[in-house]
Structure formats: structure tokens, C-alpha cells
């Protein structure tokens, strides 16, 4: 059966592996396709598409957009997007500026907590181009190296996650604005890992504003989460996706899950492609 992983990160944002390596890992995992969905960046998509052509792999052009709703960060996946759309590229650059401010704010809070950590140390963990995204996994990597925490999970639970001591989130675009941006770039809009937010009340509003799908199968979802979101997807006629949220393993600690852990039948992914094609026609 042809399977795909609809959520993976590369060195274009906070992933450990290059876009080419991500496609190779997907191939070696027996996948038919993989989506490259970097945080607020499409800079890895072209390289991944070229690798896909060489190895006979389908690559879904994607992005994961950071948004804000009622003080909480909500991530929206754009799949089958036009990754060269000028409007999309302009907005993503603005969002990366917000991410840079967020990193500085988090580092300041860590310093206030007595943790000696600098932006230079964090930026040194980037593995892609010098101007690409730095994210929380990079900060977590430094915390592990300094012996402040023992794992990625501990770094996020104690300091960097939504209930962490150093967590901050500056103003961002709303989830609905992200849906419109994804649709304008001719893609399909999916809410990423909704079980992590504890805010299911947002879903009807997103559906009313054009949401195309729900990431049902995610490594941080419980079985109850998966059943609930599958039921809601069927209720609202939304596409279902699955993704490992792959970032790679740092210092022996995996952030989320290995590539291919959460899989979706390619035929079901094509339902999202159909929705994206309607946006192209519109």
C-alpha cells in the first residue's frame, strides 16, 4: 500500500536533516511520499522536490504556519501549496521575523531563571543556510548540552512548551488568516496536532472559514484524541492527515517521532490535493 507522512521538518527550519536527507529517510522507511512542512519557510521544498525526482518519491510542497488565538500558538499546515507564490513568500518572511523575536524573548527568560545561554550558542546549532529559521529544538539542544535538561521532552515540559517557565509567544497572524494565506497560495489548510492545544472550541470557527483537514494521527495524540478528531473530520467532511512531525534526533533524544511513524494512505492524501486544485482553479 502506498503511504505518506504529511508532516516533516528539515534544516530549512528546526529539523536536523537536509531536505534531501529527509526524502532519503522517507524512501528508506518504505514511504511512497513525504510532505516537507518547515516552520514559516518553504526554503527546503525545491531541494526536496529534486531529490524526489531522483529517487522516484512523491514530495508534497508544504509549510507549517505559526498563528495565535486567545494567547495560544496554533499551527496550521499548508499542503500541496504553490511554494513560489510571491504573497506567501512575503508573509513567511514577516513570520520569521516574529520567530526571531520570540527566540530572543525566550533566551531572556531563561537568563532571568539563572540559565546562562546566548543567542550565538543557539544559532550555532543551525544546520542549514545561515539565514534560516532557529526554533525551540535548537534552544533545547543547547540546554541538553549544558546539562540543564536530559532530553527534548524535559526541555519542552520544563522550559519551552506552552506551560514552560520560559515560554512566550508574541503577536502573530490568526489561524483564519493562515487559512486564507494557504488558499491564496493554492494549497489545502490543515490544523496541525489539535490535541496539543486543548482548545477544540476553535474547530467550528476554522471549519466555517475554509479549513480543509485535520491532522488526526500525530505521535503526541492519544488514542482518544485520534478517535475524536476522526469523528469530527467525518462530521464536517474534512480530509484526514497523519504526520510524524519529524525533526530528527538530537543528543539521543527524538523530538516527536521518527519519520513514517504516523502514516496516511496516499489515496487519502489525494483528497487534500483535490481541495488544493480547487483553490488553484478559483
- Whether residue 136 contacts residue 107, with contact meaning beta carbons closer than 8 Å, is answered with no
End-to-end alpha-carbon separation of the chain, Å? 32
Q: What digits encode the pLDDT tens for the residues 231-258?
A: 999 999 999 999 999 998 766 666 778 9
What are the structural domain ranges in the chain?
3-281
Question: From the CB of residue 111, how many other CB atoms can be counted at a distance below 10 Å?
Answer: 13
Distance (Å, whole) CA 265 – CA 135: 30
pLDDT at residue 130 tops 50: no
What's the pLDDT at 227?
98
Q: Stretch 208-220: mean pLDDT, rounded?
A: 97
Q: What digits encode the pLDDT tens for the residues 190-205?
A: 999 999 999 999 999 9
Of 89-93, 226-230, 251-255, the range with the lowest mean pLDDT is 251-255
The pTM (predicted TM-score) of the whole model is 0.84
What's the pLDDT at 43?
94
Distance (Å, whole) CA 192 – CA 7: 9
Closest CA to 7 of 278, 194, 261, 279: 261
Distance (Å, whole) CA 189 – CA 81: 9
- Whether residue 23 contacts residue 52, with contact meaning beta carbons closer than 8 Å, is answered with yes
Domain at 3-281, CATH class:
alpha beta
Amino acid at each position: 500500500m502506498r503511504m505518506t507522512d504529511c508532516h516533516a521538518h528539515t534544516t530549512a527550519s528546526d529539523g536536523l536533516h537536509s531536505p534531501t536527507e529527509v526524502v532519503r529517510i522517507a524512501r528508506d522507511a518504505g514511504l511512497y511520499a513525504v510532505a516537507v512542512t518547515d516552520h514559516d519557510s518553504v526554503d527546503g521544498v525545491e531541494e526536496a522536490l529534486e531529490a524526489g525526482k531522483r529517487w522516484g518519491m512523491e514530495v508534497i510542497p508544504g509549510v507549517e504556519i505559526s498563528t495565535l488565538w486567545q494567547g495560544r500558538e496554533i499551527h496550521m499546515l499548508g499542503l500541496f501549496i504553490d511554494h513560489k507564490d510571491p504573497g506567501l513568500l512575503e508573509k513567511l518572511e514577516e513570520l520569521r521575523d516574529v520567530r526571531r523575536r520570540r527566540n530572543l524573548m525566550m533566551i531572556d527568560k531563561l537568563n532571568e531563571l539563572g540559565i546562562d545561554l546566548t543567542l550565538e550558542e543557539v544559532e550555532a546549532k543551525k544546520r542549514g543556510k545561515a539565514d534560516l529559521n532557529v526554533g525551540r529544538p535548537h534552544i533545547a539542544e543547547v540546554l541538553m548540552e549544558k546539562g540543564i535538561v536530559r532530553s527534548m521532552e524535559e526541555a519542552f515540559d520544563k522550559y519551552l512548551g506552552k506551560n514552560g517557565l520560559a515560554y512566550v509567544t508574541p503577536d502573530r497572524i490568526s489561524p483564519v488568516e493562515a487559512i486564507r494565506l494557504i488558499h491564496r497560495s493554492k494549497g489545502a489548510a490543515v490544523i496541525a496536532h489539535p490535541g496539543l492545544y486543548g482548545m477544540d472550541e476553535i474547530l467550528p470557527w476554522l471549519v466555517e472559514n475554509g479549513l480543509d483537514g485535520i491532522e488526526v494521527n500525530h505521535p503526541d495524540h492519544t488514542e482518544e484524541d485520534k478517535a475524536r478528531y476522526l469523528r469530527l473530520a467525518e462530521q464536517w467532511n474534512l480530509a484526514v492527515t497523519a504526520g510524524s512531525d519529524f525533526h530528527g534526533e538530537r543528543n539521543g533524544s527524538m523530538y516527536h517521532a521518527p519519520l513514517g511513524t504516523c502514516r496516511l494512505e496516499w489515496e487519502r492524501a489525494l483528497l487534500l490535493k483535490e481541495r488544493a486544485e480547487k483553490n488553484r482553479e478559483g
